[in-house]
Structure 1
Amino acid sequence: MNSPRQGRRLILWRHGQTSWNLERRFQGTTDIDLTEAGLGQARRAARLLASLQPDAIIASDLRRARDTAAELSALTGLRVHHDPALRETYAGDWQGLTHEEIIAAHGEQYAAWKRGEPVRRGGGELETDVADRAAPVVLAHAEKLPENGTLVVASHGGTIRTTIGRLLGLDSRHWESLGGLSNCCWSILGEGARGWRLMEHNAGTLPEPVLGDDD
């Protein structure tokens, strides 16, 4: 028989599909709506996440995250707390451009970013700037959870990656080693004796218990 789960749990949930996702345009803080497919993704994911009985929901105030979180709110009855600190990385002149257009106009900067160097993409934020604003909000809401409680954070791929990196104590040079999240997929951090642990990453189904020597 499995022992009951111990410690708090964070579910970091990326928003559903947008038209700019399909066009491979850099969104950043631009406020883009979900597509019909994205809304369907949010509804499907919300049904799964609701079964995990979350205790609280927080979300970016950008529409694509707000509308994603609203689907879970409708099923659980939980009020969503919206916070601009959970927005995607501000990317200045890159926002609205496709990756090909960014390479053509800002090739050296783009290459430096891909090498993992600290880059203010388009004159915007560093990844560490994003973690500085987002991670404290997540932790503040996690502290309000009941024992073994669950917090769902509806946000954006870049913000989620930097927040996970910060909460795990990884050096910012290694945050890119966390692969990207697909639309409406999530990562789960569990509270352990030595801090937060990454339990699931880029998941789209309900987590299974870890059975074996590492549980």
Structure 2
Amino acid sequence: MTQPTDILIIRHGQTAWNTQKRLQGHSDIPLNENGRLQAVTLAEILRDEPLDAIFSSDLQRAYQTAYEIAKIHNLPVHQDRSFRERCYGICEGMKDGEIREAYPESYKAWYAADPDHFFPDGERKTESPRQFHHRAVNAIREAATRYPGKKIAIVTHFGVIETAYRTAQNIPLGTHCRMPVLNTSINRFRWTGGTLELLQWGEASHLEEGRKPPVDYYRHY
């Protein structure tokens, strides 16, 4: 029988677009000052966590977060574009109200959770929720099956974490799935024989700690 893989799926630290509530998607936005502090604090919290591998999206906000964890564990970061956020095309960089005004039909479909809706293409080709869901699940599966009986960390984006939650809780596409996914929150899953199980959701006590920089924080930046 295949041994289970324990997976920590972690959202990247805060960015300027997070604070401005702009849709990020594939736009490569770096961590802001608070996000860098969150990443360092997260890494300290995970210092004694036994990790066998660390994966991240190739977008810099995820990689910068994963790098802090990897540095403490003396592990490489395996960057994989399959762990990127969903691509929102021309709507990336826009706020909720701006999307509603400029693309009202897309806005309605978005909030109706239409699984086959595509935003208008922009610099990059968009994905439907269904396409994105399959991409994210396949990425998690591939990472997990490479490390049976081990524990891995995946630093990624809101949408990928929502997909993991939806999969583990058997929430079908086309229905709303609302739960908090804070920046650098830790979500624990287990992959066993093709099934994803949720073990613990939304560990975020370190965000309170993050209000006070670690002693060596300013050595990093």
Same fold (TM over 0.5): yes
Distance of 1:71 and 1:103 partners within structure 2: 37
The 5 A counterparts of 1:1-80 are 7-80=4-77
Question: Could you tell me which residue of structure 2 aligns to residue 162 of structure 1?
Answer: 163
TM-score by length of structure 1 reads: 0.84
- 1:179 deviates by 1.2
* Residue 201 of structure 2 corresponds to residue 201 of structure 1: yes
**Secondary structure class of the residue paired with 1:121:** coil
* Residue 56 of structure 2 corresponds to residue 98 of structure 1: no
Question: Could you tell me which residue of structure 1 aligns to residue 142 of structure 2?
Answer: 140
Distance of 2:192 and 2:87 partners within structure 1: 32
The runs of 5 or more residues in structure 1 that have no matched partner are 1-5, 207-215
**Secondary structure class of the residue paired with 2:50:** coil
Distance of 1:86 and 1:127 partners within structure 2: 14
Question: Could you tell me which residue of structure 2 aligns to residue 182 of structure 1?
Answer: 182
- 1:51 deviates by 2.3
**Secondary structure class of the residue paired with 2:201:** strand
- 1:14 deviates by 0.5
Show CA shifts across 1:20-50 (max 9, x none).
1111111110000100100000111122223
- 1:178 deviates by 4.4
Question: Could you tell me which residue of structure 1 aligns to residue 218 of structure 2?
Answer: none
Distance of 2:69 and 2:97 partners within structure 1: 35
- 1:11 deviates by 0.9
**Secondary structure class of the residue paired with 1:172:** coil
- 1:168 deviates by 5.1
Question: Could you tell me which residue of structure 2 aligns to residue 112 of structure 1?
Answer: 109
Distance of 1:75 and 1:12 partners within structure 2: 18
- 1:111 deviates by 2.2
Given that 1:127 and 1:162 are in contact with CA atoms closer than 8 Å, whether structure 2 keeps it comes out as no
Question: Could you tell me which residue of structure 2 aligns to residue 81 of structure 1?
Answer: 78
Given that 1:50 and 1:76 are in contact with CA atoms closer than 8 Å, whether structure 2 keeps it comes out as yes
**Secondary structure class of the residue paired with 2:29:** coil
- 1:130 deviates by 1.5
Q: 1:167 to 1:195 in 2, by over 3 A?
A: same
Given that 1:168 and 1:195 are in contact with CA atoms closer than 8 Å, whether structure 2 keeps it comes out as no
The runs of 5 or more residues in structure 2 that have no matched partner are 207-221
- 1:196 deviates by 2.3
Distance of 1:107 and 1:135 partners within structure 2: 30
Q: 1:143 to 1:193 in 2, by over 3 A?
A: closer
Letter in 2 for 1:162: T
**Secondary structure class of the residue paired with 1:173:** coil
Given that 2:144 and 2:191 are in contact with CA atoms closer than 8 Å, whether structure 1 keeps it comes out as no
Letter in 2 for 1:13: I
